[in-house]
Structure 1
């Protein structure tokens, strides 16, 4: 897997994942919506840790800075 996520993109995804987790575990978002958002947060966190987003590959997007 070739990295296709830049540091700003990873930071935003991590912040969103943390916000969703706080909402879920604070019982602000519950039920099916809460579970769906929690799964989305897990995907955001995982893709941030590995610096690779499969969806970016499908649409041809790359936010990782070019290596010189």
Structure 2
């Protein structure tokens, strides 16, 4: 897995993931709505790993690091 998520993108993913996961605890008594909070696992995981499978498929890269030859 090659790093393809840059600094600001990574930070936004981590924050969005934490916010969405917080919905699990805030909406735990609502019927089914708390499940939407589990979507937060995806941006949190991709932010922590600095790798996004969708970026790999689409050939995108927000990481400013240059490849070593």
Q: Same fold (TM over 0.5)?
A: yes
The question of 1:47 aligning with 2:13 is answered no
Query: Aligned-residue CA RMSD in angstroms?
Result: 2.2
Change (3 A) 1:24 1:58: same
Tell me the equivalent position of 1:3: 3
TM-score (norm 1): 0.79
Pairs aligned (count)? 67
Residue segments in structure 1 that go unaligned for 5+ positions in a row: none
Tell me the equivalent position of 1:16: 16
Moved over 3 A (4+): 28-33
Report which of the two structures shows the higher radius of gyration computed on alpha carbons: 2
TM-score (norm 2): 0.78
Q: Larger relative contact order (C-alpha < 8 A, sep ≥ 6)?
A: 1
Alpha-carbon distance in structure 1 between the residues aligned to 2:25 and 2:54: 28
